[in-house]
């Protein structure tokens, strides 16, 4: 996971980009079958913890 993933997820949430099914699965960090702001927050947290 990188900062680029945050950008991609943001673009998806803003409906600027579409995700494939696989991308959606990967983006759904809390596995609630929805990709939303919660997943964005989790992704940010995960990347912050990597450093």
Number of residues that bind Ca ion (CB under 5 A): 5
Distance CA 50, CA 20 (A): 26
Which regions of 1-51 does DSSP assign to beta strands (E)?
A: none
Q: Does 39 bind Ca ion (CB under 5 A)?
A: yes
45 binds Ca ion (CB under 5 A): no
CA distance 10 to 36: 9
- Residue closer to Ca ion by CB (options 39, 43) is 39
Residues 19-38 within binding reach of Ca ion (CB under 5 A) = 28, 30, 32, 34
List interacting residues with Ca ion (CB under 5 A): 28, 30, 32, 34, 39
């Amino acid at each position: 996971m990188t900062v680029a993933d945050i950008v991609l997820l943001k673009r998806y949430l803003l409906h600027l980009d579409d995700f494939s099914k696989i991308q959606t699965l990967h983006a759904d960090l809390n596995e609630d079958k929805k990709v939303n702001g919660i997943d964005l927050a989790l992704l940010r947290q995960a990347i912050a913890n990597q450093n």
